Chain A
Amino acid sequence: MMTLALERMSSVPSPEKREGKVCRAIATVCFALFFLQLPALEARAEMNFQEVKSKKGVTAWLVEDHSIPLIALRFVFDSGSAQDPAGKEGLVNLMTGLFDEGAGDLDSDAFQQKLDDAGAEMSFQAACDGTYGSMRMLSEEKDLAFELLQLAVNSPRFDQAPIDRIRSQILSGILANERDPNTVAQQRWLRAIYGQHPYARPGEGTKESLATITASDIKTFRKASFARRGLHVAVVGDIDAATLSGKLDEVFGDLPQVDTLAPVADVTPRLGQQLEVNYDLPQTSLQLAWPGVKPSSPDFYAAVLMNEILGGSPFASRLFEEVREKRGLAYGVSSRLIDHEHSHALVVATATRSDRAAETLAIVRKVVKEMAEKGPTEEELAATKKYLIGSFAINHLKSSDSIAATLVGLQRDNFAMDYIKNRAALIEAVSLEDVRTEARKLLSADPTVMIVGPPLTDIKG
């Protein structure tokens, strides 16, 4: 196990980051995609996208790269934890723990043994709005690896023993976090923000809901949700289009055309609340939510740029400057746009010594207020455009697996392959006035604020 070395800046230790693994994953995926732009991709000499369409009509985006003998594959079905049946919260999350626990004629042991023989790694993950799968394989063993994936996707066994084991592992996790302040706070946060909407429910379920989930529930859900219409696939590595085409049919070709799940409603985050989660801690976590923007909205890039300047850019944002660099009040402070399929928000998070939490909260509010009133400067905007345009390749294309993940996200957001070319232009086209307008629009709202720690004492928040 690699012990983590201390980094100058790692992720912000805040309740926000603890939002169920699931919702976090999707936010990252959605968020990542919008910085894609052409020059960086073109510069990547061998990186040519191909759209591969199989005989049975399954499509995938492929980047062929034969320099390393491995293949990375990612895919998503667009149904997730938000569609857990009422009372059976945690179903999708439990299901995703079971795909490598036996399929076809292979029981759990035999399946895992074969996976090991193939030198392949397979994993599934539940998100609010999707069920994600990924596989890394050695290209010389790809036949066996794809065969195992075909079994996992089409004929998972969902045997009782693995169900009980994985369920009790998830349950242990739930119990272990029961008294963890950040977990408790995060659950309150989701309920406050999303009310009765499914996004407020814990993706991993509850003690009670997990207990009610049966093998038949899981089988029914998989059948209803694994369909071709909501499926997106990306493949990167040592495989050509013709070979991939055959594999796509093998793995996905026999799935039904459409899923039969009930759609999820849109929900507007409820703002203007103050939540105090009192614990005697040396460090207080602060989390604030403002409205966000839909990726398909015309002002989306203005929001992306504004968020970067406010608190998105590592080491270079206004919040970083005011809270950390000038005053040493926090190790991490950031803002980000949360893009769920059915809800959008801008969330600022930080953690600060408890005796100065009110001061820190006041500074965060002041920085946000200034942004709302005046917007960024011309210089900030120019620098941030450069960053967003230039950073895409380095942030998102650093391994075969991350390229595949990025391409899946692009497809999910309905970008055609040539749409990629427009991204840089879309960022460039945003004017200072656009960003000012956007800042006013989003940040003038009264945010929901959560304080996790002792009651604020130093000054009035």
Chain B
Amino acid sequence: MTMFAANPGGWVSKTLLVTILVFTGIRSPMAGEWSSSEFLLRNGMEVVVIPDHRAPVVTHMVWYKVGSADEPPGKSGIAHFFEHLMFKATANHTAGELDRTVSEIGGSKNAFTYYDYTAFHETVPPSALEQMMGFEADRMRNLILTDDVVKTERDVILEERRSRIDNNPQAVLEEEVDATLWQNQPYRISVIGWMQEMEQLNREDAKAFYDVYYHPNNAVLVVAGDVDPDAVKAMAERTYGKIVRGPDLPPRIRPIEPEQNTKRIVTLTDARVSVPSFSTQWVVPSYHTAKPGEAEALDLLAEILGGDHHSRLYQQLVVKQGIASTAGAYFQSTMLDNTNFTVYGAPRGDAKLADVEAAVDAEIARIVKDGVTGDELERAKTRYVRSMIFARDKQKDMANMYGSTLASGGNVKDVEERPERVRKVTAEQVKLVAARYLVLDHSTTGYLLPQQQVGN
């Protein structure tokens, strides 16, 4: 939904792959020893514990099932703004006390907001776990906000927006491509929000948002690390367990996309751009909305078409034809609602952007017509399994995998059974999803162009 195009570093894109695979990663049979435990507190808070005893470190994450796509109309940015405000004073702790506490024990902490969820996390020695639970449980309900605090922090998020979007032509384009790809679904607005709406966000908006969404029955606790599930359960009951269950939230049913019958084009020409690039996107099902097997097939399609330097796009456009500095594809798989599938590329040497785009289209057409080979499919599956083993090396990646899945409509089984589900995908299924979803006449393309037209 972001990531418009072109990693201009060329070969650097190979190293990026690692991250991609880790995050789309799935459990292999070898991952069996990583048994997770799952339980529910009486107030409705879900808990998942993933023991990892290699180091005396624990990652503690609270995921709220609310993100920017849940914001009321006209209040874009409130989910992310509120995430910032959660670090302010509560009835029991001063502002900055959590920061100082974590800092003094040598831990790390942060928070992030996405379309479907907001998460707060600390990585600390296990002896500090209950204290962290205490802080998180406290700020789930006891935050105190004043107009002054809200106003200053609002300035911070406005600077954040200028840094991330307004100062960067590619991000400016992405934001409007998203608003074009998504005509009805809330993913059309970037997580940070529209400037003119962010400028108006106030304490009342924050309070209203807090009171609706920040309750134990709308939260998932993920604890990964050097801990014992029973001990975690006892601690969770002593801290989070004391919070009163909030009102039941209605199911997260949001507006969905109408059928797309056009080809849409968004163009940004900017003096800071010197090499053109493009991306084309389609609306496709996510793991949460797909029919069984379809999202897995899309994952493998993305890998085979444009996942890394083994992929068809890289091999054809970058290696064989030598017309692109970069070319690839990705599938934003873990989303509550329908999601996007993206291809992208940028020319190199004398090639024109139109040549690159035509070559990308040709590779898509080839898969739609002839499908993928058995060997390609097997290799793609193997890379998935491997990425899962590599993912086990990073506690936080494991915690993220569970947390993001549970906060966007999935369950523990969805995480743990994914390898088997991916293994079952047939070449025919991959061909089928390509034919069904990657229809050029019904797509959305963004062009980032230099001010004086370089070719194209």
> Taking beta carbons and an 8 Å cutoff, which residues of A are in contact with B?
1-9, 13, 21, 40, 43-47, 65, 67-70, 72, 97, 100, 108, 112, 116, 119, 121, 123, 136, 138, 164-166, 168-173, 175-181, 281-283, 313-316, 324-332, 351-353, 383, 386-395, 397-401
Which residues of B have CB within 8 Å of A168? 10, 322, 325, 348-349
Which residues of A have CB within 8 Å of B107? 390-391, 394
Which residues of A have CB within 8 Å of B55? 44, 47, 393, 397-398
A390→B80 CA distance, assembly (Å): 30
> Taking beta carbons and an 8 Å cutoff, which residues of B are in contact with A?
1-3, 6, 8-12, 14-15, 18-20, 23-24, 30, 53-57, 80, 83-84, 87, 95-96, 99-100, 103-108, 110-114, 119, 123-125, 151-160, 162-164, 166-167, 191-192, 271-275, 309-310, 318-319, 322, 325-326, 330, 332, 342, 346-349, 379, 382-383, 386, 389-390, 392-396, 450
A190→B19 CA distance, assembly (Å): 30
Q: Is B54 touching A46 in the complex (CB atoms < 8 A)?
A: yes
A352→B396 CA distance, assembly (Å): 31
Contacts A13-B163, A351-B159 known; A328 to B1 CB distance under 8 Å?
no
Q: Is B14 touching A123 in the complex (CB atoms < 8 A)?
A: yes
Q: Is A43 touching B325 in the complex (CB atoms < 8 A)?
A: no
A329→B162 CA distance, assembly (Å): 12
Q: Is B106 touching A393 in the complex (CB atoms < 8 A)?
A: yes
Query: Which of A7, A180, A383, A387 contacts B110, CB < 8 Å?
Result: A7
For this complex, 26 residue pairs linking A to B, each with C-beta atoms less than 8 Å apart, are A1-B330, A2-B19, A65-B54, A136-B390, A168-B10, A175-B274, A177-B274, A180-B274, A313-B103, A316-B100, A351-B159, A351-B163, A351-B167, A353-B159, A383-B104, A386-B105, A390-B105, A390-B106, A391-B106, A392-B106, A393-B56, A393-B106, A394-B106, A394-B107, A398-B123, A398-B395
Q: Is B103 touching A387 in the complex (CB atoms < 8 A)?
A: yes
A166→B55 CA distance, assembly (Å): 40
Q: Is A3 touching B1 in the complex (CB atoms < 8 A)?
A: yes
A268→B197 CA distance, assembly (Å): 48
Which residues of A have CB within 8 Å of B156? 324, 328, 330-331
A393→B106 CA distance, assembly (Å): 8
- Distance (Å) between the CB of A180 and the closest chain B CB? 6
Q: Name which of B20, B154, B159, B349 has the most chain A CB atoms within 10 A of its CB.
A: B159
Q: Is A5 touching B113 in the complex (CB atoms < 8 A)?
A: yes
Give the nearest-CB partner of A98 in chain B: B11
A68→B389 CA distance, assembly (Å): 8
A172→B10 CA distance, assembly (Å): 8
Which residues of A have CB within 8 Å of B271? 179
A353→B199 CA distance, assembly (Å): 14
Which residues of B have CB within 8 Å of A390? 104-107, 125
Q: Is A45 touching B56 in the complex (CB atoms < 8 A)?
A: yes
Which residues of A have CB within 8 Å of B124? 394
Give the nearest-CB partner of A12 in chain B: B163
Q: Is A169 touching B275 in the complex (CB atoms < 8 A)?
A: no
Q: Is B275 touching A175 in the complex (CB atoms < 8 A)?
A: yes
A245→B23 CA distance, assembly (Å): 34
Which residues of A have CB within 8 Å of B19? 2
Q: Is A116 touching B383 in the complex (CB atoms < 8 A)?
A: yes
- Distance (Å) between the CB of A353 and the closest chain B CB? 6
Q: Is A169 touching B103 in the complex (CB atoms < 8 A)?
A: no
Q: Is A352 touching B332 in the complex (CB atoms < 8 A)?
A: no
- Distance (Å) between the CB of B64 and the closest chain A CB? 13
Which residues of B have CB within 8 Å of A392? 106
Which residues of B have CB within 8 Å of A6? 80, 83, 112-114, 160, 164, 191-192
Give the nearest-CB partner of A397 in chain B: B55
A96→B156 CA distance, assembly (Å): 39
Query: Which of A8, A65, A116, A173 contacts B111, CB < 8 Å?
Result: A8
Q: Is A5 touching B112 in the complex (CB atoms < 8 A)?
A: yes
Give the nearest-CB partner of B117 in chain A: A5
Query: Which of A112, A138, A332 contacts B386, CB < 8 Å?
Result: A138
- Distance (Å) between the CB of B95 and the closest chain A CB? 8
With A332-B163, A393-B57 known, 14 other A-B pairs at CB within 8 A are: A2-B24, A8-B112, A69-B389, A70-B390, A108-B319, A116-B310, A165-B322, A168-B10, A169-B318, A178-B274, A283-B166, A331-B157, A351-B159, A352-B159
A323→B23 CA distance, assembly (Å): 34
Which residues of A have CB within 8 Å of B157? 331
- Distance (Å) between the CB of A428 and the closest chain B CB? 14
A112→B19 CA distance, assembly (Å): 19
Q: Is A121 touching B110 in the complex (CB atoms < 8 A)?
A: no
Query: Which of B275, B346, B383, B389 contacts A70, CB < 8 Å?
Result: B389
Query: Which of B2, B84, B160 contacts A3, CB < 8 Å?
Result: B2
A88→B436 CA distance, assembly (Å): 50
A268→B382 CA distance, assembly (Å): 51
A287→B327 CA distance, assembly (Å): 34
A166→B10 CA distance, assembly (Å): 7
Query: Which of A328, A389, A399 contacts B153, CB < 8 Å?
Result: A328
Which residues of B have CB within 8 Å of A313? 103
Query: Which of B24, B57, B110, B382 contacts A9, CB < 8 Å?
Result: B110
Which residues of B have CB within 8 Å of A383? 100, 103-104
- Distance (Å) between the CB of B273 and the closest chain A CB? 7
Give the nearest-CB partner of B88 in chain A: A325
- Distance (Å) between the CB of B188 and the closest chain A CB? 15
Which residues of B have CB within 8 Å of A70? 389-390, 393
- Distance (Å) between the CB of A315 and the closest chain B CB? 4
Q: Name which of A6, A332, A394 has the most chain B CB atoms within 10 A of its CB.
A: A6
Give the nearest-CB partner of A170 in chain B: B10
Query: Which of A282, A314, A386, A400 contacts B167, CB < 8 Å?
Result: A282
Give the nearest-CB partner of B328 in chain A: A1
Q: Is A138 touching B389 in the complex (CB atoms < 8 A)?
A: yes
Q: Is B12 touching A315 in the complex (CB atoms < 8 A)?
A: no
Which residues of A have CB within 8 Å of B394? 398-399
A118→B114 CA distance, assembly (Å): 36
Contacts A13-B164, A331-B159, A398-B395 known; A8 to B104 CB distance under 8 Å?
no
A7→B121 CA distance, assembly (Å): 11
A352→B162 CA distance, assembly (Å): 8
- Distance (Å) between the CB of A342 and the closest chain B CB? 25
Contacts A8-B112, A44-B56 known; A326 to B106 CB distance under 8 Å?
no
Which residues of B have CB within 8 Å of A353? 158-159, 162
Query: Which of B123, B151, B319 contacts A394, CB < 8 Å?
Result: B123
Q: Is B84 touching A316 in the complex (CB atoms < 8 A)?
A: no
Which residues of A have CB within 8 Å of B125? 43, 390, 394
Which residues of B have CB within 8 Å of A324? 156
- Distance (Å) between the CB of B109 and the closest chain A CB? 8
A7→B2 CA distance, assembly (Å): 15
Q: Is A4 touching B2 in the complex (CB atoms < 8 A)?
A: yes
A329→B156 CA distance, assembly (Å): 6
